[in-house]
């Protein structure tokens, strides 16, 4: 296999990509060429215009992670970061003071915003930023594509006794960063998704792939939003490539993030099997050929197989690059020709 395509959200997706690339370069992935190319189709519905800057969390987390500029503890933003601009904005009383924009990170948003204001589409802007972050380490073997060039934003409706309607809608970043996803998400609305179209290269990256991987990213606001871009589901349904995913839910809860709260808001069972069935078997109009669950969820394999999705239970904790590469190898083994 030479062409792998990965639908990625933020931290879970970026961590998986590190292990996948480690597996490729160490030859640990069965049937994958050492010079295989990886195309990442990243979620952009977390994007947020703040202080006049366009912040693209999932694009930047993948870009910084694969370019070794990420802050490894936080899993977002830059290593060796300083916060002077953030402190100065707070001193002026400019909201939101709760969103951590670091000085180094702001440079990325300034470059991106200038290029967007000059009329370049997000995909071209991302390509330009990746010249710094991906090219030195990966040449043109790793491509990072936004799912769409159109503006799409995830907003969350939450209960709010103070408001006349009893609810309030907040941007996903406020829900996640300020509210820490500690309030129930009544509804998740992805504004603009229905009018969006796949960014250049995205559909080809799915139809021309030898393998499509769904890493353990959030099935609602990361992979879910990518699949929500018109045309993407169909491309997954029709590609000749096997499509295999890895469960972000282990032992009945998410490893990190807020998948539990958001799955509840769309009525999907918070379980490895529940998410797999939510994506659905390709033979039944869904997008999956295979779905890996953690060993703790081995009892859910039979049900998944019943619903037409090949399944296996393997260790799914991305404790280090070798562990993650083993997960990728198991995913390939599950659907390999
Ligand atoms: O928990 C936080 N996450 C922060 N994130 C993470 C972000 O909320 C998540 O990475 C995604 O939106 C969800 O995957 C940032 C990401 C950026 O690209 C830029 C700034 C931030 C700031 C924060 C923050 O202050 N707190």
Which protein residue's CA is at the shortest distance from atom 18 of ligand 1?
57
* C-beta of 55 in contact with ligand 1 (< 6 A): yes
* pLDDT at residue 285 greater than cutoff 80: yes
Instruction: Give the pLDDT confidence score for residue 336 in this predicted structure.
Output: 80
Q: Report whether 126 contacts 151 (CB < 8 A).
A: no
Average pLDDT of the residues in 41-46 = 98
Q: What is the pLDDT of residue 178?
A: 97
In a domain, 89, yes or no: no
State whether the beta carbon of 243 lies less than 6 angstroms from ligand 1.
no
Ligand 1 centroid vs 100 CA: distance in angstroms? 7
Backbone angles phi, psi at 178, to 5 degrees: -80, -45
Confidence at residue 324, expressed as pLDDT on a 0 to 100 scale: 98
Whether residues 185 and 287 share a domain: the answer is no
Give the whole-angstrom CA distance, residue 38 versus residue 14: 13
Does residue 249 form part of some domain?
yes
Residue of 8, 105, 172, 173 with the most ligand 1 atoms within 8 Å of its CB, for mutation: 173
* Interior/surface letters 171-196, b for 16+ CB within 10 angstroms, e for the rest: bbbbbbbebebeeebbebebeebeeb
Strand (E) positions, the chain? 3-8, 37-42, 48-50, 53-55, 142-146, 153-159, 167-171, 185-191, 211-214, 243-246, 249-250, 253-254, 290-294, 310-314
Distance from C-alpha of 259 to C-alpha of 280, rounded to nearest angstrom: 18
Distance of CA 72 from the midpoint of ligand 1 (Å): 13
CA distance 194 to 199: 14
Question: 245 and 329 share a domain?
Answer: yes
What is the arithmetic mean of pLDDT over 178-185?
94
CA-proximal residue: ligand 1, atom 2 (nearest): 177
Whether residues 174 and 220 fall in one domain: no
| Ligand 1 in reach of 280 Cβ (< 6 A) | no
The verdict on the CB of residue 77 being under 6 Å from ligand 1 is yes
| Domain of residue 246, CATH code | 3.40.50.10680
Q: Are residues 210 and 169 part of one domain?
A: no
* Ligand 1 in reach of 177 Cβ (< 6 A): yes
Residue 115 included in any domain: no
The pLDDT assigned to 10 comes to: 87
Rounded to 5°, angle at Cα 249 from 56 and 267: 85
- DSSP code of 282? G
Q: Evaluate whether residue 26 is within a structural domain.
A: yes
Q: 186 and 324 share a domain? A: no
Q: What is the pLDDT of residues 292-326, one digit of tens each?
A: 999 999 999 999 999 999 999 999 999 999 999 99
Centroid of ligand 1 to alpha carbon of 221 (angstroms): 14
Domain containing 162: what range?
153-193
Is residue 170 domain-shared with residue 206, that is, in the same domain? Answer: no
Does 81 reside within a domain? no
Determine the pLDDT at residue 337: 56
Contact yes or no for 273/304 (Cβ under 8 A): yes
3-class SS string, 121-183? CHHHHHHHHHHHHCHHHHCCCEEEEECECCCCEEEEEEECCCCCCCEEEEEHHHHHHHCCCCC
Is residue 317 in a domain? yes
> Residue 10 C-alpha to ligand 1 middle, in angstroms?
9
60 lines ligand 1 (CB under 6 A): yes
Q: Is the ipTM of this complex over 0.85?
A: yes
Taking CA atoms only, the protein residue closest to ligand 1 atom 21 is 100
Cβ(235)–Cβ(29) below 8 Å = no
**Whether residues 167 and 228 fall in one domain:** no
User: Is-contact 160 168, C-beta < 8 A?
Assistant: yes
- pLDDT tens digits, one per residue of 220-275: 999 999 999 999 999 999 999 999 999 999 998 998 888 888 998 999 999 999 99
Residues 297 and 214 in one domain: yes
**131 pLDDT higher than 90:** yes
d(CA 48, CA 201): 23
Residue nearest to atom 11 of ligand 1 (CA): 57
The 10 Å Cβ neighbour count of residue 49 is: 13
For the CA of 101, the closest atom of ligand 1 is 20
The closest alpha carbon to 148, from 56, 238, 65, 237, belongs to 56
Pocket test for ligand 1, best of 10, 51, 57 (most atoms within 8 A of CB): 57
Token pair, residue 326, equals 């083993």
d(CA 242, CA 253): 27
Regarding whether 145 and 238 lie in a shared domain, the answer is yes
Q: How far apart are CA 81 and CA 176, in angstroms?
A: 21
Strand 53-55 and strand 48-50: the pairing is antiparallel
Ligand 1 centroid – CA 177 distance (Å): 7
pLDDT at 43: 98
Tell the residue nearest (CA) to atom 7 of ligand 1.
57
Distance 57 CA to ligand 1 centre (A): 6
**Rounded distance, CA 321 to CA 303, Å?**
30
CB of 61 within 6 A of ligand 1: the answer is: yes
What CA–CA distance (Å, rounded) separates 270 from 289?
Answer: 20
pTM (predicted TM-score): 0.97
Contacts of 81 (CB under 8 A, 6+ apart): 71, 102, 103, 104, 105
Residues 172, 255 within the same domain:
no
Closest Cα to residue 274, out of 232, 303, 233? 303
Instruction: Tell how far the Cα of 134 is from the centroid of ligand 1, in angstroms.
Output: 21
Does residue 164 lie within any of the structural domains? Answer: yes
- For the chain, what is the largest distance between any 2 Cα atoms, rounded to a whole number of angstroms? 60
- Do residues 166 and 230 share a domain? no
Same domain, 308 and 327: yes
Is 105 touching ligand 1 by the criterion CB < 6 Å?
yes
In the chain, how many domains are there?
2
Residues 165-173: what's their mean pLDDT?
Answer: 96
Q: What is the pLDDT of residues 55-93, one digit of tens each?
A: 999 999 999 999 999 999 999 999 999 999 999 999 999
Neighbours of 279 (CB within 10 A): 22
CA-nearest residue, atom 1 of ligand 1: 177
Residue percentage of the chain with pLDDT more than 70: 100
Check if the beta carbon of residue 161 is closer than 8 Å to that of residue 185.
no
98 inside domain:
no
CA of 219 to the centre of ligand 1 (A): 18
* CA–CA distance, 115 with 324 (Å, rounded to integer): 35
């Amino acid at each position: 296999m030479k062409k792998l395509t990965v639908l990625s959200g933020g931290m879970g997706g970026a961590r998986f990509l590190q292990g996948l690339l480690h597996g490729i370069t160490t030859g640990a992935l069965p049937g994958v060429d050492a010079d295989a190319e990886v195309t990442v189709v990243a979620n952009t519905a977390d994007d947020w215009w703040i202080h006049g800057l366009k912040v693209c969390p999932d694009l930047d987390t993948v870009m910084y992670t694969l370019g070794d500029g990420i802050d490894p503890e936080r899993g977002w933003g830059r290593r060796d970061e300083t916060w002077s601009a953030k402190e100065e904005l707070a001193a002026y009383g400019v909201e939101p003071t709760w969103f951590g924009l670091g000085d180094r990170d702001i440079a990325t948003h300034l470059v991106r915003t200038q290029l967007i204001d000059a009329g370049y589409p997000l995909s071209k802007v991302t390509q330009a930023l990746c010249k710094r972050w991906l090219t030195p380490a990966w040449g043109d073997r790793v491509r990072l594509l936004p799912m769409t060039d159109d503006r799409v934003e995830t907003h969350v409706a939450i209960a709010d006794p103070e408001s006349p309607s009893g609810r309030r809608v907040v941007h996903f970043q406020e829900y996640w960063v300020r509210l820490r996803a500690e309030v129930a998400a009544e509804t998740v609305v992805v504004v603009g998704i229905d009018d969006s179209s796949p960014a250049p290269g995205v559909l080809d990256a799915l139809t021309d792939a030898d393998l499509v991987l769904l890493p353990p990213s959030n099935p609602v606001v990361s992979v879910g939003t990518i699949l929500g871009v018109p045309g993407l589901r169909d491309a997954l349904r029709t590609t000749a490539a096997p499509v295999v995913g890895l469960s972000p839910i282990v032992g009945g809860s998410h490893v990190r993030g807020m998948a539990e709260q958001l799955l509840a808001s769309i009525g999907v069972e918070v379980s490895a099997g529940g998410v797999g069935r939510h994506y659905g078997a390709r033979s039944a109009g869904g997008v999956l050929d295979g779905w890996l669950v953690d060993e703790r969820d081995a009892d859910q394999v039979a049900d998944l197989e019943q619903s037409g999705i090949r399944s296996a239970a393997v260790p799914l904790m991305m404790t280090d690059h070798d562990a993650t590469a083993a997960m990728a190898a198991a995913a390939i083994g599950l659907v390999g020709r």
